Amino acid sequence: MEEIKAESYRLETHSGGWLGQVVITSDGFFGSVTDYGNFSFKWSCIGKQSFKEFLLSLNEDYFSRKLAQGISYVAHGRQIDNACERFAKEILPELKKKLQEEVNIENLRTK
């Protein structure tokens, strides 16, 4: 069985203020506590790429729909959809910046 690794990211606003905390695991778990809500989801099929690379490939619409799907078993409605869309717009781009930096460094190490 492959070891599951977790990584935590502190996301900040452009002015350096706290935006949120995101935790991802190598087996496809995303969890967050942010100024735009607290969301989580588990992707079980991401192909052969790393979970970081998978997250980097996502667009905001798909990401927000998965977050809404993750909580739809306990709540649903347009208000939740709007919250997920706003979360994806504000959080995903900042997370992608952090992940891209790490993927670039990891790729340099393996070359």
- The structural domains of the chain, with segments of one domain joined by +, span 6-110
Higher-pLDDT residue of 70 and 8 is 8
pLDDT of 42 higher than 80:
yes
Q: Convert the pLDDT of each residue in 47-87 to its tens digit.
A: 899 999 999 999 999 999 999 887 766 566 788 888 889 98
pTM for this predicted structure? 0.75
Find the mean pLDDT for residues 18-34.
Answer: 96
Quote the pLDDT of residue 74: 59
Residue 50 and residue 99 in contact, taking contact as beta carbons nearer than 8 Å: no
CA gap 14, 24 in Å, rounded: 22
In the β-sheet with 6-12, what is the strand arrangement from edge to edge?
6-12, 18-25, 29-34, 40-42
